[in-house]
Amino acid sequence: MFGSRAFTSGQSCRGCTSSAKFTNQNQSYSDNSDRQQLPDEETENHPKRSLACAILVSLLCPILGVISIYFAILSVRAQSQGYFAQSQTYYQRAIRWSLITFIFGLVLLSTIAFIFFVRAVLHV
């Protein structure tokens, strides 16, 4: 499709301009039988992992966790319907919101723990 052609430049000689030609990579690699390809399962992102991550992170901050769960569910649903590009977009959004939720939850819990620690030290 779009990535199946490689740009190669030909030799430029005196008095002529450099020529460029496109070669089909599929044909050039079909001769090379020792080229290894990874299975599709290893190169794809798994939306179910983002759903599990979103559920675990929502324990730290449930308000922002709902957003990451929402995008993770959309990712799983899009992949099950065969919309892989849309699933990838939702997967990235779910991971991004999971990371935001994790950081916000850690900051929030650390602040609360620090306040209780200071209050306990000052009252003793």
pLDDT of 47: 74
Cα distances (angstroms) measured from residue 59 to each of 33, 56, 74, 100, 113: 50, 6, 20, 13, 16
pLDDT of 15: 52
Q: What average pLDDT does range 118-123 have in this prediction?
A: 90
Query: What's the whole-model pTM score?
Result: 0.60
What span, in angstroms and rounded, lies between the C-alpha atoms of 61 and 105? 5
> Which of 105, 106, 95 lies closest to 49 in space, CA to CA?
95
What span, in angstroms and rounded, lies between the C-alpha atoms of 63 and 85? 28
pLDDT of 36: 54
Q: What angle do CA 53, 72, 93 make, to 5 degrees?
A: 95
19 neighbors 7 (Cβ within 8 angstroms):
no
Q: What average pLDDT does range 10-14 have in this prediction?
A: 50
